[in-house]
């Protein structure tokens, strides 16, 4: 079975926030909740780099480990989802998540009463696929429609890749080998054990 | 007479302790929900090219869509 993953190519991301907008529009995410956002390092300095960040659907998810009401679960495709009917909005998952993925709306119809909201990899929630209840709580279920996440499919420069982990890793690897740079910025060597030659990584200062 | 009472008491206490065992704590393994390849049950927005309920065709659809939509090296090479 496919194992869904995101990867963002920092050499291509131009900080247009198209992925953020696509996510907001597709799932009608309210103000104050950002399932996806773009983080820029060394903003304004030559060599700045941007990366699109959301839930990374960890294989051993810390949010899942710390949730006191056990509202998280994993789908057969490796997507980490949660049940808003079980969530108590305690915020423990946001402390555990290294990516700041869990979001907590203070008011509004979508995700009301401060229940946690996060990227679903466009895979909805525990309700029936494509049902009105699922759409109201979690947004569209594109995976069940045979589509990939809206953010990745809408990315103008194809910096954000989303899909089966093996396939997106192959695409990214092919890019890095072709252009012979770009792997050093985001720890390619740490993640994949194949560091390429290239310049030094920029100093990490958040904008 | 005291001995049987002591033994029974000890057994009752043992039985009580049995309820204090911990729940198994295994991180990140709970799998739930209907698989995505089962489809939405007739959504008009479903993409063409795969059959709901067929895991193989869904996975092929995901692979094709990823390569066609996100790998421009393949797209440019095909022209």
The pLDDT tens digits of the residues spanning A20-72 come to: 999 999 999 988 899 999 999 899 999 899 999 999 999 889 999 999 999 99
Which residue of B24, B28, B38 to mutate against A (max A Cβ within 10 Å)?
B28
DSSP state of A89: -
A187-206 average pLDDT score:
50
CATH architecture of A4-192: 2-Layer Sandwich (3.30)
Tally of domains within chain B: 1
- The crossing angle, in degrees rounded to 10, of helices B55-70 and A165-179 is 20
Domain for residue B67, yes or no? yes
Domain for residue B69, yes or no? yes
A4-24 average pLDDT score:
94
Q: Where are the beta strands (DSSP E) in chain A?
A: 4-8, 37-41, 49-53, 72-74, 80-82, 160-164
Report the C-alpha gap between A181 and A199 in whole angstroms: 8
Report the C-alpha gap between A101 and A121 in whole angstroms: 12
List pLDDT tens digits, range B22-37.
766 555 557 777 899 9
Total CB pairs under 8 A between chain A and B: 124
Model pLDDT, residue A206: 52
Domain for residue B71, yes or no? yes
Closest chain A residue by Cα to residue B33? A126
B2 CA: distance to closest CA in chain A (Å): 46
Rounded to the nearest 5°, which phi and psi values hold at A144? -75, -10
- Inter-chain touch B71–A174, beta carbons under 8 Å: yes
Domain for residue B19, yes or no? no
Report the C-alpha gap between A123 and A82 in whole angstroms: 11
Helix (H, G, I), strand (E, B) or coil at A82: strand
């Amino acid at each position: 079975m496919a194992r869904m993953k995101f990867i963002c190519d920092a050499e291509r991301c131009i900080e247009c926030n198209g992925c953020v907008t696509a996510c907001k529009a597709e799932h009608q995410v309210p103000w104050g909740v950002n399932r996806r956002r773009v983080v820029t390092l060394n903003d304004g300095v030559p060599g700045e780099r941007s990366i699109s960040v959301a839930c990374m659907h960890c294989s051993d998810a810390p949010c899942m480990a710390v949730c006191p009401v056990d509202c998280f679960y994993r789908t057969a495709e490796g997507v980490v989802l949660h049940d808003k009917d079980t969530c108590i909005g305690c915020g423990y998952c946001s402390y555990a998540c290294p990516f700041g993925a869990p979001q907590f709306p203070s008011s509004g119809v979508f995700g009301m009463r401060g229940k946690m909201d996060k990227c679903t990899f466009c895979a909805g929630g525990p309700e029936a696929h494509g049902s009105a209840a699922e759409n109201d709580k979690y947004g569209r279920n594109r995976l069940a429609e045979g589509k990939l996440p809206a953010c990745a499919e809408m990315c103008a420069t194809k910096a954000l890749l989303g899909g089966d982990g093996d396939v997106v890793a192959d695409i990214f690897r092919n890019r890095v080998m072709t252009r012979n740079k770009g792997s050093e910025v985001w720890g390619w060597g740490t993640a994949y054990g194949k560091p390429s030659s290239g310049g030094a990584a920029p100093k990490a200062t958040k904008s | 007479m005291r001995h049987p009472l002591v033994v029974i008491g000890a057994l009752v206490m043992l039985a009580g302790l049995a309820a204090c065992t911990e729940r198994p704590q295994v991180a990140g393994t709970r799998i739930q929900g209907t698989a995505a390849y089962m489809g939405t049950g007739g959504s008009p927005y479903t993409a063409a090219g795969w059959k709901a309920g067929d895991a193989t065709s869904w996975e092929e659809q995901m692979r094709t869509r990823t390569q066609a939509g996100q790998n421009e090296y393949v797209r440019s090479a095909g022209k």
